[in-house]
Amino acid sequence: MSKSKIVFVCQNCGATAAKWMGKCPVCNEWNTYAEESIAQGPGPDRERDKLTGFRNNLTPPTLIGDIPNESTQRIDTLDPELNRVLGGGIVPGSIVLLGGDPGIGKSTLLLQLALNLKNKKILYVSGEESMAQISMRASRIGIKNHSCYIYTETNTQSIFKYTHELQPDLIIIDSIQTLQTSYSDSPPGSLSQLRECTSELQRLAKDSGIAVFIIGHITKEGLIAGPKVLEHIVDVVLQFEGEKHYAYRMLRTIKNRFGSTLQLGIYEMQHCGLRPVLNPSEVLLTQRDENLSGIAIASTMEGDRPLLIETQALVSPAFYGTPQRSATGFDSRRLSMLLAVLEKRVGFSFGTRDVFLNMAGGLQIEDPAVDLAIVAALLSSYEDIPVSNKSVFIGEVGLSGEVRAVSRIEQRISEAAKLGFNTIYISKYNMKIFNEDKDSLNIIPLGRVQELSEMLFSK
Ligand code: TYD
Ligand code: MG
């Protein structure tokens, strides 16, 4: 090995400096610099070309037509939700980073994947848990797989040795923060170790055609540790999220070189592992027979899938000081904007009232098409008059109170029709695009939010 050099590395953004600094000039974070040593010089790189044991000589330039096609054959994970977020299965030779809070179920998800793939050879490397703990989890999941190897190791060179010996189709690393390469002297979990280990794994994936899944913890700020550094190296970044106290877990695609981002998979954590939720709308709509005030059904697109979701609002007189505004699963600034629109354009007075808003199921909704449902729920709670539980509201609300058109209206409407809703409020600007014959549905076009309040509450 050649000599190494001491540098100071920002653990947030990866910027380097020759001396310690209190504030990072690149990302403006405080107290993020840590001392690390990096190997330098041309020597180790030569040596490291042979590192993974798979590439003996470099591949020469090849004509695009001569590249064999089977390398893009995807592996079916037998899990419809995971297939969807990956864009249709695992691409051989790809490297996937799975991030998420501790305890959310990352190890469970990937162990389940390893156990499901019965006709593939899998190497599950854990630096976090003992073999006994993993076997306990496997018996909890209750699937037997005779081609899944468990290896508790943190040194990348040892992992490569056994990879070469076993020739698996898939390697799972739990977690990248525990790995260590002999080519860096920094402690495990530091940014230069993360970067070195991830690029070694990437080299392994590309040289050998083995798919690699890496688990990464996320930092307090909700980012995968060393976010910019790692996200650039890997092919796919998935984020596993959800409220710990709800059973539902959301798997989101943040980056995907082989498919669309914005995809969402939904799971339910059960006593025997994670169960894919195949009909999410039915889960996100609470079962109720009677009409209650303050509830309206919204439609949101998560990737290419429309979901119906219940929005609940509570508007009540504020007795103490400043009225409260609280939103769960929705941006609170957007809620304030909608309240201001109702105040100014429709003449409701929220200034002396507390407002609470809740999106059912613990989902964080960013689709602006839910605005109209939120407005309906707010007005319904304000007036204490229920809206029909057979209605769905689809539309974005603009600053002057206009109801704006939203994307993919046909898909949203057919999802609502499928689930038995019969009245759908949409923007009148969506009517032009929407020309399908839907006799059984009552589709109500709206131009402004005033019309909604008149339609719902003036009987
Ligand atoms: P785990 O996969 O260890 O989380 P992570 O790797 O993201 O830290 O999951 C931990 C939680 O999941 C733990 O609280 C126990 C729970 N769990 C179940 O509810 N059912 C199960 O079948 C399994 C395996 C775990
Ligand atoms: Mg774990």
How would DSSP label each residue in 239-284? EEE--TTSSEEEEEEEEETTS-SS-EEEEEEETTEEEE-S-HHHHH
Q: How far is the CA of 126 from the centre of ligand 1 (A)?
A: 15
Of 111, 238, 269, the one to substitute when testing ligand 1's pocket (max ligand atoms within 8 A of C-beta) is 269
From 85, 228, 262, 100, select the one nearest 175 (Cα to Cα).
Answer: 100
**Sorting pLDDT into bands at 50, 70 and 90, what band is 61?**
confident
Residue nearest to atom 16 of ligand 1 (CA): 105
Residue nearest to atom 1 of ligand 1 (CA): 105
Q: Which atom of ligand 1 lies nearest, measured to the CA of 240?
A: 7
**pLDDT at 433 (0 to 100):** 57
The string over 174-210, giving b where at least 16 C-beta atoms fall within 10 Å of a residue's C-beta and e elsewhere, is: bbbbbbbbebbbbebbbbbbbbbbbbbbbbbbbbbeb
From 360, 203, 275, 197, select the one nearest 215 (Cα to Cα).
Answer: 197
Amino acid found at 286: T
Ligand closest to 139 (CA) is 1
Residue nearest to atom 14 of ligand 1 (CA): 103
- Summary count for the chain: helices (H), strands (E): 13, 21
Lining ligand 1 with CB less than 6 A are: 100, 102-108, 137, 140-141, 269, 271-273
Residue 102 has pLDDT above 90, yes or no: no
Do the beta carbons of residue 48 and residue 75 sit within 8 Å?
no
Residue nearest to atom 10 of ligand 1 (CA): 103
Q: How far is the CA of 146 from the centre of ligand 2 (A)?
A: 22
Ligand closest to 176 (CA) is 2
Identify the top-confidence range among 114-118, 242-246, 248-252: 114-118
From 100, 78, 96, select the one nearest 86 (Cα to Cα).
Answer: 96
What are the percentages of helix, strand and coil residues in the chain, rounded to 5? 30, 30, 40
- Residues 146 and 14: their CA atoms lie apart, in Å, by 41
Residue 175 has pLDDT above 60, yes or no: yes
**pLDDT at 303 (0 to 100):** 76
Instruction: State the DSSP H helix or E strand holding residue 316, giving kind and residue range, or none if neither.
Output: strand 305-317
**pLDDT at 214 (0 to 100):** 94
Q: Which residue has 């984020």 as its token pair? A: 239
Instruction: State the DSSP H helix or E strand holding residue 111, giving kind and residue range, or none if neither.
Output: helix 106-116
Q: Looking at per-residue confidence, does 60 or 49 come out higher?
A: 60
- Residues 279 and 283: their CA atoms lie apart, in Å, by 7
